[in-house]
Amino acid sequence: MSDDAFSADISRHIWDTKYRLREGGRIVDERMEDTWRRVAQSLAAVEKADDRNAWAERFYRALEGFRFLPGGRILAGAGTGRRVTLFNCFVMGVVEDSMDGIFDALKQGALTMQQGGGVGYDFSTLRPRGTPAHDAGTIASGPVSFMHIWDSMCATLLSTGARRGAMMATLRVDHPDIEDFVDAKRDPRALRHFNLSVLVSDEFMQAVRADAEWPLVFPVGSHEPGAPDTADDIVMRPWPGAVSGAGPHWQPVPCRVVRTVRARALWERILRSTYEYAEPGVLFGDRINRLNNLYYREHISATNPCGEIPLPPYGACDLGSVNLTRFVSVPFEDDAGFDADGLRETVRVAVRLMDNVIDVSRFPLAAQEAQAHGSRRIGLGLTGLADTLMMLGLHYGSPEARDFAAETMRTVCHEAYRTSVDLAREKGAFAFFEREAYLAAPFVQALPDDIRQGIAAHGIRNSHLTAIAPTGTISLLADNVSSGLEPVYNLSYSRRVLELDGSYSEYALTDYAYRLWRDRFGDRALPDYFVDVDSLTPEAHLDMQAALQPYVDNAISKTINVPAEYPFDDFRDLYDQAYDKGLKGCTTFRPNPVTGAILEAVVAPGDHASHCCNIERETD
């Protein structure tokens, strides 16, 4: 390794401003290698004394050269001794429908964000706007009004120097305030620190396709007088916070039908809002819960801010990504190859490293620590996919590219599960593990026989193992490789980014694969497999996400780019395709006056972020 790990100025900038350790005015990490060494030694400290040095070296070799990219909180916090969390994001607890409950939840969110964690909330528990609050003699203002308080809290924390300000808000599609939620960000000044997603049920999708009526409902509180006594006015719905005595699943509770709308009209309103200003996203909640490996003890109704980790109350994200570009040999040549064995070895080391993060990290709240140690969830994914495809001569939108991507993610998934079984044999299974119930989970049932047999015999160390995060910042750190599974945004462009002193500087960004091509072949014409987001159809984005979903037990953060002139009827069909292709959620982005372009060439103070956070406030 040379004395300088960086070949791009933007990469050095990202390291210097986000991940380089300083103590007061003194620089501790002189080089990127010092950062890798700090992280490796910190995470090896939980190993047996005789093994620590060996594991520290193996961790370092995986990190070296940006082969494995741990989440940004790990890079920034491990080995610093600071009171920070190494987890990127959290889903917070159920927001109780009372003033005490609301402001307790606000405080918990503030404490979590102060330590560097993004947060997700399901606001479905809050009474709809206009509902009498009989105990206080007042009228409820609705969930969206309280979201503005969270938004102000986030802005205030950012003004104190907090590192991130990303939040996710979800609301059920049957909540009476769903239209207010859907329209909440039409005002370009409103809720700028939130990403919004609607929790869509299978029942709702069936109602949309049948053009049926759709009841908007809310639980009947025991304190409310005059509850209707006719079956037509009451439906039974499982609701957040209503837990059955027999287990963790939400208990169906009597819900008052506040009003009824046409399901198809509500669906069109959701999609029209997304078409016009990129929010809200859609989460297919029933599918998320049906495919949850811990279906037997938890119900999920929220995700981290970029959507790749659906989590139960107080759940946390422990993220990392394998940089696929580092496993390509003789790029762009006819005999270009991919080192699958090297990938497997890196995955094995990465899983152990990420598992150790759980034991090293601090947690803002005791409930978060209990959840993390109980499930030992991790989210190992990939980045640099689009660059890797180009280096192998594959067009992002081709069947061959999807086959390669699916096979690669399958390798990551299966090797991660095998490693977690080995870790369980060595260190024990995760605390919430119940053998028969876990083996009955649909995702686990689809694993190869040897993995299932290993789980049956030894248990498994981590309840979940794979996720594909946006990786925008850490991909910039790693020589500006393409982000996550996204296509290349642009082969070259300029961008203004924030400096340590609060000023902005402009950096020229060149895509990693494009720079490699120019270094080797000069001005030779680019092959047709050099593609960016503008040269791909939305269907190509969707098909790539669908190709990888079977090997992701958490979820995938993916933005489906849509041209400004794309017809609305075709746009609406993308969401039907996403549902039919088995995705857990769908996020699209069409350039619009409210949020601008998906990634601005110039990022200045006050610019509006797209649904997936920009590098000033994203989850990694």
From the list 289, 304, 323, 554, the catalytic residue is: 304
Residue 148, judged by CB atoms within 10 A of its CB (0-12, 13-18, 19+), counts as middle
CA-to-CA distance for 556 and 562, rounded, in angstroms? 18
**Residue 253, SS3 per DSSP:** strand
Q: Is 612 a catalytic residue?
A: no
Give the number of other CB atoms < 10 A from CB of residue 60. 18
Measured torsion, CA atoms of residues 434, 436, 441, 442, in degrees rounded to the nearest 10:
160
Which residue reads 């003004």 in tokens?
Answer: 159
What's the token pair of residue 408?
A: 């690669």
From the list 306, 317, 612, 613, the catalytic residue is: 306
Rounded alpha-carbon distances, angstroms, from residue 393 to 327, 400, 529: 14, 10, 6
Q: Is 306 a catalytic residue?
A: yes
From the list 47, 279, 298, 308, the catalytic residue is: 308
Locate all alpha helices (DSSP H) within 377-448, ordered by sequence: 385-391, 399-427, 435-439, 442-445
**Residue 383, SS3 per DSSP:** strand
CA-to-CA distance for 162 and 78, rounded, in angstroms? 17
Q: What's the N-to-C CA distance of the chain in angstroms?
A: 25
Q: Is 471 left (phi over 0), alpha (psi -120 to 50) or beta?
A: left
What's the token pair of residue 417?
A: 């599960």
Q: Is 292 a catalytic residue?
A: no
Give the number of other CB atoms < 10 A from CB of residue 618. 25
| Phi and psi torsions of 415, nearest 5° | -70, -35
**Residue 116, SS3 per DSSP:** coil
| Whether the Cβ atoms of residue 391 and residue 332 lie closer than 8 Å to each other | yes
Q: Is 582 left (phi over 0), alpha (psi -120 to 50) or beta?
A: left
What's the token pair of residue 282?
A: 């859609």
Helices 399-427, 449-458: crossing angle, 10 deg rounding: 20
Which residues are the active-site residues? 304, 306, 308
